[in-house]
Structure 1
């Protein structure tokens, strides 16, 4: 009985790992930010619950299917070979239907409890991540990172449209911040594991154009993030506290990137960690200092 219980617990843990909980959490934070700006305050609790549940399930389902389709290359890389599918702790067919089920449930929740526009953007984000990024571009072009960023930048748009049922410039500004943030965030990891990607045959920027080129590109994107991060202030979405905080956070990000670029070490563990912290703090402070 104890053995069976442990197997079930291990199995449950493997399925949870497939959903990439850390990424789901970031998706929920940015989705909620979009909802706050649409409502200019806390939206109805019921709507928040269903929107976050639907968006979270879509993110989780997309992550599962991404790992299903990438299970062959994940097995070749040190960073990913211990994931549930390469290890064989979850059967590929089980992972596939698990991902499909999560996505299906997500779309049903969004359709019945939010509105068609929010449902459309949820489906569009999943389509972009699975079909455009994972299946079409990842194994063919280093541009997969930049083009695929459309999917990762969609959560605040989903949150905003779930409340309003329409688009405006505000969610597009939030989209732009996340879109510019994603490539430098990923490239730090891609540089660290460049040999891994080379072995697996994935044409990431460091593999195709070299580490120095990728570092410079990372710096350019991070520098571009500074003025873009201030747009919520200039457009009247957030106040002076946000302006000062965004400026400081972005300058620290830029300084850390400069240090990374000038270093001969390919590892940028702290920079990668800071990029996640940066986005979480930026959106949290934006909500705290939102102009009503």
Structure 2
């Protein structure tokens, strides 16, 4: 195998798109954490350590789920199902970058961030992937806490504390995760059913799942304005949150009344834009001063 192809396979093993979104959330947490921004090199080394651990979790997830991935259209082109990497090589790679990431956080950032990052890694790669995913239709709700950690990791990396404001950012992602993922689960319900994975649409039906998506989107609407209510953010964020949450609610209601699974995919796709833009709004509000 050519070196470039091999590098691409290892790169894909890290779920780069997911990691990039996590890093954006972590970066926003860093910049919101203090008025005086830390040195650029410190921010980079912190993000690098977090990225390595997040990539490790993604790789471990693919090692554990390789057989399931091979039978699902959404995941059958991943490196392990395609035979581009061996299980041993993928496992060694995952463990190596995870250890390196943890050591970087320990020696160059702080112990708290290292522990929180390792906790997130264990939560996703082992507790969710090994147990929760196949144990309960609430898998994504419970396991979503691990995926919601990035802004807390970014915040703690510059303050060495667990701040209530950081936890509020975690709450936004935590509440956003179920409607985000359940929309995809509706679209892929037959594949999950084939693999006996108890996703909500498989165990409780599509109609019930659509109702849950609407309910969680309403909760998200409320949670999204909390940063303004607690004076963490200002009017720029408030207006952005109201608009984005209204659009998300529109998509979820449209899905609720629709029999077209394509609406589920559209809801899923918008949810990705939502979380990116809501964090961008937090950042814009932080740096743009309105008299």
TM-score normalised by the chain length of structure 2: 0.96
Segment drifting more, 204-213 vs 282-291: 282-291
Number of aligned residue pairs: 287
1:20-99 aligned within 5 A:
20-99=15-94
Q: Does 1:166 align with 2:124?
A: no
Q: 1:104 pairs with 84, 99, 104, which one?
A: 99
**Counterpart for residue 198 of structure 2:** 203
**Counterpart for residue 125 of structure 1:** 120
Partners of 1:236 and 1:45 lie apart in 2 by 27
Q: 2:151 pairs with 151, 156, 163, which one?
A: 156
Q: 1:271 pairs with 253, 267, 274, which one?
A: 267
Q: Is the 8 Å Cα contact of residues 40 and 290 (structure 1) preserved in structure 2? A: no
- SS of the residue corresponding to residue 71 of structure 2 reads coil
Q: Does 1:185 align with 2:210?
A: no
Partners of 1:24 and 1:252 lie apart in 2 by 25
Unaligned 5+ residue runs, structure 2?
A: none
Structure 1 residues 25-83: Cα deviation after superposition (integer angstroms, max 9, x where no partner): 11111001111121135322122011110111111110000000000111121211121
Q: Which runs of 4+ in 1 moved over 3 A?
A: none
- SS of the residue corresponding to residue 290 of structure 1 reads helix
Structure 1 residues 88-110: Cα deviation after superposition (integer angstroms, max 9, x where no partner): 11111111111111111110010
**Counterpart for residue 11 of structure 2:** 16
Q: Return the offset for 1:162.
A: 0.8
**Counterpart for residue 260 of structure 1:** 255
Q: From the superposition, tell whether residues 41 and 221 of structure 1 become closer, same or farther in structure 2 (CA, over 3 Å).
A: farther
TM-score normalised by the chain length of structure 1: 0.96
RMSD of aligned alpha carbons: 1.2
Q: Does 1:248 align with 2:257?
A: no
Partners of 2:136 and 2:154 lie apart in 1 by 31
